[in-house]
Amino acid sequence: MNDTRTTFMLDLQRIESEDYQLREGEHQQDFVRLMLQYIGDPLPELRDDLIYPTFYAWIKEQNRFTDAELRSLLAVLTDEQHLFYQIGSENDQTVFTRTFSALPVALILQRHRQEAFLDQVEFQHVKHALLRYYQEEKDLRGYVPDGGWAHGAAHGADALDELVQCPQSDETVQLEVLASIQGMLHNGIHIFSEEEDERMATIVDTMIDKDLLSQEKIADWISGLAECRDWPRSRAQVIARVNSKNFLRSLYFRRGQGCQRERLLTALLEADMKLNKFATK
């Protein structure tokens, strides 16, 4: 470990122990610059245990950034060296830079929806970035034994959940996000096993809970998930069917029990029955 990285880790550990306060003479932007430099470090103790919690404390809990600083930070996080760093690569360490850039984006969007500071152009930029990321990420590993959490589908879902709640998120945005979830579930590569389905279900649960999209449109989308059952037999078809079935069950046990929205409940049950090849016909 080089001297700069070692010193940086020790500084973040000290900052954590002091309730994320800086000492006299220290400047927040100096640490932010290093946090962005090492955001995808392969060492989880730095990436996951120190950098992200510091962003969490400074953005969400302590509100230490001005609106201008948050705009600048968001622009960097969604650039080609962070959210899209070597996008499309698989089974290497670049995934950590991409996925851990998505998490502070979620924190910034949460701030924006509480007190709007992004204009329409800036909002459209982050929306397109998140939708593009969810479409183009190919390294869908959850926990990596030699690097800790990658979890791209889950981290991206956290950001999308904040996106759909932003004041600029109209029906078109909600439908685009649903399409991106379907694309992730039908990814053709990976069956999710690290509760990514729960993180994706949170987005749709939010839409239902806050009436962000009509019951009919969500129900139609749910029914559309089950159409993969009729695809030609292939590995991609199995992946789509299993991921969709697990997702629907996650959503059902959030919303199905005691659900007063009969159209949604019917769609969930019918789609699950269609996707479950072991169900009694």
Domain map (residue ranges) of the chain: 177-194+212-281
Model pLDDT, residue 280: 54
| Predicted local confidence at residue 260, as pLDDT | 60
- Res 263: pLDDT: 84
Q: How many C-alpha atoms does 207 have within 13 Å on its Cβ side? A: 29
**Per-residue pLDDT band at 259 (split at 50, 70, 90):** low
| Arithmetic mean of pLDDT over the chain | 95
pLDDT for res 257: 60
Stretch 231-258: mean pLDDT: 91
Burial of 225 (0-12, 13-18, 19+ CB in 10 A): buried
pLDDT class for 212, splitting at 50, 70, 90? very high
Query: What does the pLDDT average to over 142-157?
Result: 97
Q: Which residue from 247, 272, 248, 268 is spatially nearest to 259, judged by alpha carbons?
A: 268
Query: Which pLDDT score is estimated for 256?
Result: 63
Q: pTM of this prediction?
A: 0.96
Range 180-197 average pLDDT: 98
> Would you say residue 35 has pLDDT above 70?
yes
What pLDDT digit, counting tens, does each position of 75-105 carry?
999 999 999 999 999 999 999 999 999 999 9
Q: What percent of the chain has pLDDT over 70?
A: 97
Closest CA to 176 of 163, 190, 193: 163
Q: Is the pLDDT of residue 1 over 60?
A: no
Residue 258 — pLDDT band, cuts 50, 70, 90? low
**Mean pLDDT of the 137-147 span:** 97
Q: By mean pLDDT, which of 112-116, 139-143, 224-228, 256-260 is the weakest?
A: 256-260
Task: Give yes or no for a contact between 225 and 243, defined as CB atoms under 8 angstroms apart.
Answer: no
Residue 113 to residue 100: CA distance in whole angstroms: 21
Provide mean pLDDT across the span 242-268.
85
